[in-house]
């Protein structure tokens, strides 16, 4: 396995140190998951008091940090990720709670919220302590870029709450954060044109997702941008002596 500090140019050039960027990303990742934990704690208080409107808002707020963190979550803790955010037929986690809060208008979800809070707290511990590898993070970055364009664009994952476009927007914010923090400088030093392409694609994805109505989203264009970003990241991998990222967990 390629070490954090041992990423080298494929032609034998000097190593590209990614460890500083990875640790900077870790601190931002933990802050995002902690942000979700704090919002789920608010959600717990709201459902206890029976305040449906406040509970819905807390649920929406909790999604922000979570969706930004998905570069990490699905690859480094996949079973926990499924407990937290399985869709479209999640029996636990965010979407089981969503169905009751937004679909049925019910606040009797305390047990589900407690389970979600426990899982998110475990995810924070994993994010703080696990070994974050360049390969794993590039794989997660690429898979999330693909998911935005292929799995979510046709209607999204948070259909009952009507916040799917927010999920995608926060996903792309997470993609931008991971790319800029970990990989941008290294790719730019190896292939400035490739780096410029990645930046352009991310910026255009963000622009497409800036409007608020999912029905008005240019779905086909977003899908194309997603696919182009995937190809760009896969092309960048050998510049960093990494394997071409796969779109499925191995």
The pLDDT, as a whole number, for residue 4 is: 39
C-beta contacts of 151-156 below 8 A and 24+ residues apart: 153/217, 153/219, 153/222, 153/223, 153/226, 154/219, 155/214, 156/214
* CATH architecture for the domain at 19-240: Up-down Bundle (1.20)
Which stretches of the chain are DSSP H helices?
19-49, 52-68, 70-76, 78-85, 94-98, 110-129, 134-147, 164-178, 184-190, 192-208, 219-236
Average per-residue pLDDT in the chain?
91
The pLDDT, as a whole number, for residue 211 is: 81
DSSP string, 70-85: HHHHHHHSHHHHHHHH
pLDDT, tens digit, for every residue of 72-89?
998 999 999 999 999 877
108 φ, ψ (degrees, to nearest 5): -85, 60
pLDDT, tens digit, for every residue of 18-58?
999 999 999 999 999 999 999 999 999 999 999 999 999 99
The pLDDT, as a whole number, for residue 157 is: 83
pLDDT, tens digit, for every residue of 11-26?
434 445 799 999 999 9
Domain residue spans in the chain? 19-240
Measured CA to CA, the distance from residue 90 to residue 45 in angstroms comes to: 23
List C-alpha distances in Å: 208 to 18, 114, 140.
30, 36, 22
Say what percent of the chain tops pLDDT 70: 91
pLDDT, tens digit, for every residue of 87-125?
877 799 999 999 999 999 999 999 999 999 999 999 999
pLDDT, tens digit, for every residue of 164-220?
999 999 999 999 999 999 999 999 999 999 999 999 999 999 999 998 788 888 989
List C-alpha distances in Å: 97 to 3, 77, 151.
40, 21, 21
- Tell the residue number behind the tokens 């399985």, with chain if given: 86
């Amino acid at each position: 396995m390629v070490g954090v500090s041992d990423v080298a140019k494929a032609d034998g050039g000097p190593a590209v140190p990614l460890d500083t960027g990875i640790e900077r990303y870790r601190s931002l990742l933990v802050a995002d998951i902690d942000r979700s934990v704090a919002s789920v704690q608010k959600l717990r208080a709201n459902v206890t008091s029976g305040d449906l409107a406040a509970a819905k808002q807390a649920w929406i707020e909790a999604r922000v940090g979570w969706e930004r963190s998905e570069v990490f979550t699905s690859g480094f803790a996949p079973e926990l990720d499924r407990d937290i955010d399985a869709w479209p037929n999640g029996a636990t986690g965010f979407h089981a709670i969503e169905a009751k809060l937004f679909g049925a208008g019910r606040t009797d979800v305390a047990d589900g919220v407690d389970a979600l809070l426990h899982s998110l707290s475990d995810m924070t511990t994993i994010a703080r302590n696990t070994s974050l590898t360049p390969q794993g993070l590039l794989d997660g970055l690429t898979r999330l870029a693909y998911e935005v364009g292929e799995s979510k664009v046709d209607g999204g994952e948070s259909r009952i709450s009507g916040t799917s476009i927010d999920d995608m927007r926060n996903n792309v914010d997470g993609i931008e954060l991971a790319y800029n923090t970990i990989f941008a400088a290294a790719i730019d030093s190896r292939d400035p044109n490739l780096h410029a392409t990645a930046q352009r694609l991310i910026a255009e994805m963000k622009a497409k997702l800036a409007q608020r109505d999912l029905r008005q989203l240019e779905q086909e264009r977003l899908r194309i941008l997603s696919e182009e970003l995937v190809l760009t990241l896969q092309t960048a991998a050998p510049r960093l002596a990494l394997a071409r990222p796969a779109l499925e967990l191995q």
